[in-house]
Amino acid sequence: MRHAPGPGATRGDRLGAGDPAGRYDAAMHDLTLRHATLDDLDQLAPLFDAYRRFYEQPGDVARASAFLHERLERGESALLVAEDAGQLLGFCQLYPTWCSVAAARVFILSDLFVDPDARRGGVGRALMRAARDFGRRAGAARLDLQTAHTNARAQALYESEGWVLDEVYRTYNLDLGDDRG
């Protein structure tokens, strides 16, 4: 299994609401949204590294590439990319999980990033819609995401796309440290 497009997808799947070619006409771009493959790593790893740096992690393109390679090789996530004229402009990564209370599959929209030069052109919105469409096709009950309290621009995008802020549950984390052995 060389290219694993992610849970619920098949290799080469193109994504698009109402357009079988997977195109979204987003402002200044004629986008193709599709599942990433290992062949995308040269362009995808620097974008993923920039995403991690946005969240104050040290830059490490090799680490980003290795992490994405593992996710793709193992089919552990659905990694969607926005492409225009052979250039990747952004990505969205979803991880499958289950909700015991709903007794249903859900996806965690873990990562969304658009190249700074391609922002404000509808790429992020197109990726969000592609994620929604993917989740529906995969039979998920819902998508969940978290973002920084200070990321107001992203919050405005999510809310404009129908996402609702959870005011019932708190999220807790337990740091297991670097010694995971």
Domains and CATH numbers, the chain: 14-160 (3.40.630.30)
43-66 pLDDT, tens digit per residue, is 999 999 999 999 999 999 999 999
Rounded Cα gap, residues 148 and 53, in angstroms: 14
- Side chain identity, residue 69: H
DSSP notation for 17-61: SS-TT-EEEETTEEEEEEE--GGGHHHHHHHHHHHHHHTTPPP-H
Read off the pTM. 0.82
Which residues neighbour 116 within 8 Å (Cβ) at sequence distance 6 or greater? 50
Rounded Cα gap, residues 88 and 33, in angstroms: 10
Q: What separation in angstroms does the CA of 2 have from each of 11, 67, 161, 180? A: 10, 15, 34, 28
98-145 pLDDT, tens digit per residue, is 999 999 999 999 999 999 999 989 999 999 999 999 999 999 999 999
- DSSP label of 168: S
The partner residues of 113 in beta bridges, in order of sequence, read 91
- Side chain identity, residue 161: E
The partner residues of 90 in beta bridges, in order of sequence, read 82, 114
Q: What sign does the dihedral 20-15-34-22 (CA atoms) show? A: positive
Q: What is the mean pLDDT of residues 75-104?
A: 96
Q: What is the pLDDT of residue 11?
A: 40
Pairing status of strand 14-15 against strand 29-35 = antiparallel
Q: How confident is the model at residue 178 (pLDDT cuts 50, 70, 90)?
A: confident
